[in-house]
Structure 1
Amino acid sequence: MIAIKKHTILALGYFLLVALLGLLLRFFVIVDVPATYRFLVHTHSHIALLGWVYIALTSIIYLLYLKSAAIDALYRRIFWFTQITILGMLFSFPFQGYALFSIIFSTLFLIATYFFTWMVLKHTPKKFRNRNSYTCVKTSLIYMVFSSIGPWAVGGVMATLGKTSIWYKLAIYFYLHFQYNAWFILALCGFLFFILESRNIEIDKKVFQRFFYLFNISAILTLFLSVLWTQPPTVFYYLAGIGAVVQVFAFLKFFGIIRPNFKALGFDRFTGLLLKIAVIVLILKVLMQLISALPYFAKLAYQSQDFVIGYLHLTFLGLISVSLLALLSHFKLIYLSKGGFWFFFTAFILTEAIIFYRGLAIWQALPIPEQLLNYLFAASCLFPIGIGWLLIANFRKKVSDKPFGT
């Protein structure tokens, strides 16, 4: 039997490491750090997406769909191969950035994700295959594989056109878009549908299909939001705008399914609160994407690094991470300490306020306090405290409940 709880605690360990790396990056503005900032940014982003989020999501997928498939040995091999690739990136990116060893380990990680996707598609029991939840999870994995076109393209662009080419950034944006806006979010939606199904709550097939088709249309078309900074032909603005509008309708359909059944999902009060927070953040995210379809704001978003970082952190920390913590707790894969979470969430609110204020101040020529970046560093200190608290609580707390469905 796979000790899946240990895997999710390992994911929390990666999350703590991400917080410490982020704090180190904020430390650069205060003292002269003997390291290469750009290399650490690469490390921070890779461990965030591929360590914390990927391991947490795939652990839940295994728990929900594969625990009864008698493939423990196969899953274990893929899991530990994946850990080797993540550790390889952790110990190569800080010292060389994108170079031989980091590229090798990044490539091996992509191959590991292909094997994981194949395993899910091949070995998921038949009883799940016609469920709405599996449709979402299966499609999210396909988006994950599709997103890997970006990293594969980066190597070719670097070898031919160089890092200064717009195609280098476009390849990265392609990858990030389908990670953030398709793989992560659709998988989370699938988990919520799974909970409804486990409680024998039926969803009208046509209603689900409307949500599913709208989501996929928006996932494809909102990709064009990532190219507007190049000032492309007008048609791209229309496509991006249509995608942003369709995304609004997709999530309206989703809320229309979940909201009437929210109490029936069986979340405890704290977990329910976390998911309501995630919904608020999701609404902000969708509205920001809608606004960024306008040419003026598309250009502003590209020119303001603070707005870009603020948006990425809003999605990663406020939507994806909060949702993951809530669902990991609901599936009894982690013990969710309230104190640890509120330290983490306070850090999120404070840092987002500072980052967005700085972007707004530069845009509107507002006063910027001299110590603003010091305040940002101080607020960021709460991240490792909160996440460390969550991690320690899981080592100290003996949770007697077995994971969901076991």
Structure 2
Amino acid sequence: MIQLKRHTSIALAYFLLVGVLGILLRLFFVTPIAANYRYVVHAHSHIALLGWVYIGLATLIYRIYFTEAGKSKLYLRIFWFTNITILGMLFTFPFQGYALFSITFSTLFLIASYFFAWFVLKHIPKQFKGAFSFKCIKASLWYLIISSIGPWAIGGVMATLGNTSIWYKLSIYFYLHFQYNAWFILALTGILFFILEKNGLNPEKKEFKSFFLLLNAGIILSFFLSVLWIEPPVIFYVLAAAGAILQTMAFYKLFLILKKSWSGLKKLISPFLNFLFCLTGLFLAVKVLLQLMTAIPYFADLSALYTDFVIGYLHWTFLGVISIALFAFFQYFNFLKLRKDIFWIYLSGFILSEILIFYKGTSIWLGLPFFSQYFPILVGISALIPVAVCIILFSNLRTGS
């Protein structure tokens, strides 16, 4: 039997490395660092998405569908091959950026992700094929594959138009959109529906279908939010607004579905786990609101002009919505025992750093005073996140399998 708690620890180790790299990036603005800033950014972002989140989701998906399916050897081959590619990126991106070896490992990761998607879609046990949870997971895996069009396109764009072309940025935004808003969110939603289904709290078919259609339409159309910075024709603004509105409607539908079943689920989970789920929902609501605001041309222009707003939004989604949801699911499946005091350290680091990031963007935008010790304070506050993750990781390793 696969020791999935160890796989959880591997994901947490990547998260710790992401936090350390994040502190290093912020130290660039405090003291001279003998490294290339852009190269470290590449390593930071790749390990965040492909190490912590991808490995975490893969572990959870295997847990809910395949623990009794007898496919552990095949899954382990894919799992360890994937980790080799992630480690390859970790040890190449900080030193060479996008170059031969880092691109090779990135390409191999894409191939590994295709194998993982094939594994799940091909070998899913029959009893889960019609489940609402699997409909979400299946869609998320297709979006995972679709998102890879972005990285494939980057190579061609760099070879022909260069990295200053708008198509270079659009390729990156395409990838990030279908990772953050599709693969990650739908996979997490699928895991949540699995928990409801296992506890006999299935939503009504009509309600789920409405949510699912709205969300998928919103995901596709809201990609156009990522192109508004080039000031395209009016039709793109219309499509972007439609996508943002549809996503908002979809998550409102999800809220109504969960409202009906949550009283039953609350009886089966601890108050702290209920708090984690509710906090994730709150952060998701803020994310959806921010996304809806960027459908307005004025705010779309703001996000294009002031990158702190984009960084703040991405961190809000990654550290707030996705990471806390992963903590909650790991806790639910007993892969992790999250102490409340340590979580409060994490949450404090997250909230306070977000306030500082949005403060910087707002102060530049409105010409407000900007205090001189901003960057050292940001480093200190942000350090709370890897400190908390480090404690969580070593606590998990100490408790063993």
Map 1:217-232 onto structure 2 (within 5 A): 217-232=217-232
Deviation at 1:117, TM superposition (A): 0.5
Query: Which residue pairs with 1:295 in the alignment?
Result: 297
Q: Does 1:195 align with 2:207?
A: no
Aligned residue for 2:181?
Answer: 181
SS of alignment partner, residue 70 of structure 1: coil
Q: In the alignment, does 2:1 pair up with 1:14? A: no
**Residues 105-144 of structure 1: pairs in structure 2 closer than 5 A:** 105-144=105-144
Describe the superposition over 1:244-266 as per-residue Cα deviations: whole angstroms up to 9, x where unpaired: 11111100110111122113222
1:38-58 CA-to-partner distances (Å, cap 9, x unmatched) read: 000000000000000000000
Match of 1:385 among 359, 384, 387: 387
Kept in 2: contact 1:196–1:264 (CA 8 A)? no
Paired letter, 2:324: V
TM-aligned CA deviation for residue 268 of structure 1: 1.1
Q: Tell me if the contact between 1:340 and 1:388 (Cα under 8 Å) persists in the aligned partners.
A: no
Q: Matches of 2:24 and 2:246 in 1, distance apart?
A: 39
Question: What stretches of structure 1 of length at least 5 have no aligned partner?
Answer: 400-406
**1:100 matched residue in structure 2:** 100
Structure 2 unaligned segments of length 5 or more: list them. Answer: none
Q: CA deviation at 1:154?
A: 0.3
2:212 matched residue in structure 1 = 212
Q: Pick from 321, 330, 343: which aligns with 2:323?
A: 321
Q: Which amino acid in the other structure matches residue 78 of structure 1?
A: I
Report what 2:24 is aligned to: 24
Q: 1:242 matched to which residue of 2?
A: 242
Q: TM-score, normalised on structure 2?
A: 0.98
Q: CA deviation at 1:135?
A: 0.4
Residue 396 of structure 2 aligns with an amino acid whose one-letter code is N
Counterpart-to-counterpart distance in 2, 1:398 and 1:216:
39
CA deviation string 1:152-203 (max 9, x = no partner): 0000000000000000000000000000000100111111110111012232
Cα distance in 1 between the residues matched to 2:173 and 2:231: 15
Cα distance in 2 for residues equivalent to 1:220 and 1:371? 42
> What's the C-alpha RMSD, in Å, of the aligned pairs?
0.9
What residue is the counterpart of 1:80 in the other structure? 80
CA distance, structure 2, for counterparts of residue 220 and residue 356 of structure 1:
27
Structure 1 position 242, deviation (Å): 0.7
Q: Summarize deviations over 1:304-330 as a string: whole Å, max 9, x none.
A: 011010000000000000111011110
2:272 to 270, 273, 279: 270
Give yes or no for contact 1:132–1:193 (8 Å, CA) kept in 2: yes
- Which secondary structure state, in structure 1, belongs to the residue aligned with residue 336 of structure 2? coil
Report if the CA contact (8 A) 1:278-1:323 is conserved: yes
Q: Structure 1: which amino acid aligns with 2:289?
A: L
Compute the TM-score of the two structures, normalised by the length of structure 1. Answer: 0.97
- Give the Cα separation in 2 of the matches to 1:208 and 1:232: 34
- CA offset at residue 398 of structure 1? 5.5
Distance 2:136 2:264 in 1: 20
- Identify the residue that residue 341 of structure 1 maps to in structure 2: 343
CA distance in 2, matches of 1:77, 1:254: 36
Flag as ranges the 4+ runs of structure 1 deviating above 3 A.
none
Q: How many residues align?
A: 399
Which residue in 2 is equivalent to 1:4?
Answer: 4
